[in-house]
A and B are shown apart, each in its own frame.
Chain A
Amino acid sequence: MPTKKDDVYGDHISHKFNDELMELKTEFLKMGGMVEAQVENAVQALVDGDGHLAEQIRAKDKQVDKMEMDLDEEATLIIARRQPTARDLRLVISVIKMVADLERVGDEAKKIAKLAIKLSEEGQAPRGYVEVRHIGTHVLGMLHDSLDAFARLDSEQALRIMKEDKRVDEEYQAAARTLLTFMMEDTRNISRCMSVMWVLRALERVGDHACNIAENVIFMVKGEDVRHTPVEEAERVVGR
């Protein structure tokens, strides 16, 4: 989906360099799309009790890992060959970091898939699935938007994702309280509720990774590191 804004990496004197940077961007987005589907399917497998789909997710994680290594190699070669500077350098460095985030998101999807298999085998009435679906939709939206912000170099969208993260944390806390209530109602629920809790925890982590990607997008576009800074600081950087 190359848009006109993509041209900022496509107007070097060296066409080969253009191709290399575009390839890096495209492959990153491909990996992003794959990881997004992994999370989406994992949540689906869980709420549907679909063990088969869950197995597929676990198998596909190997492809995600492979893409991480390929992208890292490509980024390393660009540094070695081109000694990129300024925005090109920021792109390459950010991709290296964001790839690690995507790989972690893939791991979280795998974790959810494992729990989906376990829960489907136990086969009891679903508890906390409403919360899983809700938070799942929320963090998937964030992940999608962060990749979109990367593709379009949209720092304002990235800033919105950073702000979203707080809401996910709140939702996670609320969902944890609900599950706690279920556990107190009947101690036989504990094991099952704990599994759902792990799923929620994994989804909350996906939100964190989306947030990391958003921070890197701001760095790519604005050249300033907004990690570990108050949101007001990020707002200032993006508003420049």
Chain B
Amino acid sequence: MNTLNTTVTSEAEMPEENVVPVQEEKPAETVIEEGKTVGRPFADDAKFKLRNVEVFYGQDRAIKNISLDIGRNEVIAFIGPSGCGKSTFLRCLNRMNDSIDICRVKGSLNLDDQDIYDPKRDVVELRARVGMVFQKPNPFPKSIYDNVAYGPRIHGLANRKSDLDDIVENSLRKAGLWDEVKDRLDATATGMSGGQQQRLCIARAIAVSPEVVLMDEPCSALDPIATAKVEELIAELSESYTIVIVTHSMQQAARVSHRTAYFHLGHLVEVNETNKVFTSPEHELTESYITGRFG
């Protein structure tokens, strides 16, 4: 097993006299043992079973031997400093990394015990089951109605106009947007406020009845009120969906998630109940990060 310290310099590569001061500076707990995650990375009722996952960008190993379960109807937050691999790992869950040529994914990634990376798998169908909301609201330059109706039309989820109307209304209601837009469904989506656009994107994602919603920093471009609305929405959605959220806001992770996963330099360092992570984390690196001790 490959033992790394926080600077990711293996001991073998360093002259012996240099090893000692590095170890003196950091307590023993800051050492990351590859593939070893402290806390509770596994779940009894797993929606995703992810084992020994590695992601390469060309020669660079961006994700290093991560094993994790994501439970059914669980809200799990991925936190960690920039470049720690949390977004890369998130994008493995619905094969968004496929579009990057130099990106390779290794290991076993199962959704409901079926291989996500099975070559025969229909990626479009996978992404309908595992929807995604991005950092910046990205509505199509179409009407509000068409934005939400887009997915159901493509996937043939509605046979009649009235069915489609129902899907659009339900999705907008679930996204907490219906009352604000019901009188102007034909208005163009790009004219909405940032917070409304983001909730529209969430409505669009849930219109195709996904089982999982992946959120990549969904609130980083939103003001506190819009953020509060999205967080409220996450709590409601968690009753029927599994939600994986990447966030830079520690308070947001603390507020919305059941479990929190801490990533560091491509390693999954700790996964624990969110309440535990933010009051007494097990790993020294998690503690350092959430208390603002390094960047």
Interface residues of A in 181-225 (CB under 8 A from B): 222-224
Interface contact A86-B294, CB-CB below 8 Å: no
A residues near B18, Cβ cutoff 8 Å: none
The contact of A86 among B251, B281, B295, by CB within 8 Å, is B281
B290's closest neighbor in chain A, by CB? Answer: A85
Q: Does B138 sit within 8 A of A, measured CB to CB?
A: no
Q: Does A3 sit within 8 A of B, measured CB to CB?
A: no
Interface contact B295-A224, CB-CB below 8 Å: no
The contact of B294 among A13, A89, A90, by CB within 8 Å, is A13
A219's closest neighbor in chain B, by CB? Answer: B280
A9's closest neighbor in chain B, by CB? Answer: B291
Q: Does B31 sit within 8 A of A, measured CB to CB?
A: no
The contact of B280 among A11, A13, A224, by CB within 8 Å, is A224
Interface contact A12-B279, CB-CB below 8 Å: no
Q: Does B278 sit within 8 A of A, measured CB to CB?
A: yes
A residues near B295, Cβ cutoff 8 Å: 13
Count contacts on A: residues with CB < 8 A to the other chain. 16
Interface residues of A in 1-49 (CB under 8 A from B): 11-14, 17
The contact of B292 among A12, A222, A223, A224, by CB within 8 Å, is A12
A216 → chain B closest CB, angstroms: 14
Interface contact A84-B280, CB-CB below 8 Å: no
B residues near A12, Cβ cutoff 8 Å: 291-293
Interface contact B292-A17, CB-CB below 8 Å: yes
Q: Does B287 sit within 8 A of A, measured CB to CB?
A: yes
Chain A CB within 10 A, most for which of B281, B290, B292: B292
Q: Does A88 sit within 8 A of B, measured CB to CB?
A: yes
B251's closest neighbor in chain A, by CB? Answer: A83
A11 and B279 in contact (CB under 8 A), knowing A83-B251, A85-B254, A86-B287? no
**Interface SS, A side:** loop
Interface contact A87-B292, CB-CB below 8 Å: no
Interface contact A89-B278, CB-CB below 8 Å: yes
Interface contact A90-B292, CB-CB below 8 Å: no
Interface contact A223-B279, CB-CB below 8 Å: yes
CA gap between A224 and B280 in the complex, in Å? 8
Interface contact B280-A90, CB-CB below 8 Å: yes
The contact of A84 among B286, B291, B294, by CB within 8 Å, is B291
B285 → chain A closest CB, angstroms: 12
A residues near B286, Cβ cutoff 8 Å: 86
A168 → chain B closest CB, angstroms: 30
Chain B CB within 10 A, most for which of A11, A12, A13, A85: A85
Interface contact B279-A13, CB-CB below 8 Å: no
A17's closest neighbor in chain B, by CB? Answer: B292
CA gap between A189 and B204 in the complex, in Å? 86
CA gap between A160 and B251 in the complex, in Å? 37
Interface contact A90-B279, CB-CB below 8 Å: yes
A residues near B291, Cβ cutoff 8 Å: 12, 84-88
B70 → chain A closest CB, angstroms: 23
A residues near B251, Cβ cutoff 8 Å: 83
A87 and B287 in contact (CB under 8 A), knowing A13-B292, A13-B293, A17-B292? yes
Q: Does B250 sit within 8 A of A, measured CB to CB?
A: yes
B282's closest neighbor in chain A, by CB? Answer: A223
Interface residues of B in 243-295 (CB under 8 A from A): 250-251, 254, 278-281, 286-287, 290-295
CA gap between A222 and B290 in the complex, in Å? 17
A97 → chain B closest CB, angstroms: 15
B residues near A83, Cβ cutoff 8 Å: 250-251
B254's closest neighbor in chain A, by CB? Answer: A85
B residues near A84, Cβ cutoff 8 Å: 291
A residues near B294, Cβ cutoff 8 Å: 13
Interface contact A85-B250, CB-CB below 8 Å: yes
A residues near B279, Cβ cutoff 8 Å: 85-86, 89-90, 223
A224's closest neighbor in chain B, by CB? Answer: B280
A residues near B292, Cβ cutoff 8 Å: 12-14, 17
B residues near A86, Cβ cutoff 8 Å: 278-281, 286-287, 290-291
Chain A CB within 10 A, most for which of B250, B280, B286, B290: B280
Interface contact B250-A11, CB-CB below 8 Å: no
Given A83-B251, A86-B286; 16 other pairs, CB 8 A cutoff: A12-B291, A12-B293, A13-B292, A13-B295, A14-B292, A85-B278, A85-B279, A86-B278, A86-B280, A86-B287, A86-B291, A87-B280, A90-B279, A90-B280, A222-B280, A223-B280
Pairs across A and B, CB under 8 Å, 6 listed: A85-B250, A86-B279, A86-B287, A89-B279, A90-B279, A224-B280
Sorted nearest first, the 4 A-B pairs with minimum C-beta distance are A223-B280, A85-B290, A85-B278, A86-B287
| Chain A residues engaging chain B, CB cutoff 8 angstroms | 11-14, 17, 83-90, 222-224
